[in-house]
Amino acid sequence: MADPTPRQQRTDERRRRILAAARDRADADGWAAVTTRHLADTIGYTQPVLYGHFPGGKAEIMLAVALEGFVELTRQCRAALGETRGRAAVEAIAVAYLDFGSKHPAVYEAMFQQPIGARFAADDTAPDLRAGFDVLAEAIGDRGDGSATEVFWSALHGISELERAGRMRLEHRPNRIAELGTRFAPDRPDTHH
């Protein structure tokens, strides 16, 4: 692949600055506070320049943040999984997933709560989304239709959301992770994946 031109480098840098400003504002004040006017002011560009990079405005910016989040979450889960299998794999994935949600609340919200138009569980699911699902399936040894992985994912998502809302005690997270390991480990004799 050829090196990017100086113009492409400037374009890429502007996009990165816009996305970083959106993430920072969303982390501080929520996605409702992210506006194209605020982003343009924050990074020192005009709104037309911002729309030149993201013609879909805030919705396109949120989608880009979410897609970057899926790549990052998958990378962290894949690193946590490594060569680990069984209960240790389930627990490692759970820790990586929950830590990501805690450390990146605005990104996590863009990924799973905001209307970003990303399709899950469909034939045309984007590869980056599929890769995230696949690492969860691998951790629990799901070789079926993906239903077991969906239940595991929903458990992780529920824990993440309930912890963030203060409905679950953070100091009990290790107990919840151990429970997931017990219930989803592929080496359990009564597991039917």
The predicted-structure confidence for 147-158, as pLDDT tens digits, reads as follows: 999 999 999 999
Q: How far apart are CA 107 and CA 31, in angstroms?
A: 10
pLDDT reported for residue 118: 78
Check residue 97 and give its pLDDT: 98
75 and 122 share one domain: yes
Q: Could you give the percent of the chain with pLDDT greater than 90?
A: 80
Q: Has residue 179 got a pLDDT over 70? A: yes
Confidence label for 191 from pLDDT (cuts 50, 70 and 90): very low
Residue 149: give the domain boundaries: 65-184
Tell me, what DSSP letter sits at residue 101? H
Quote the pTM value.
Answer: 0.87
Query: Are 152 and 103 part of one and the same domain?
Result: yes
For the chain, the average pLDDT equals 91
Q: What is the CATH number of the domain that holds 43?
A: 1.10.10
The burial of 77, by beta-carbon neighbours within 10 Å (0-12 exposed, 13-18 middle, 19 or more buried), is given as buried
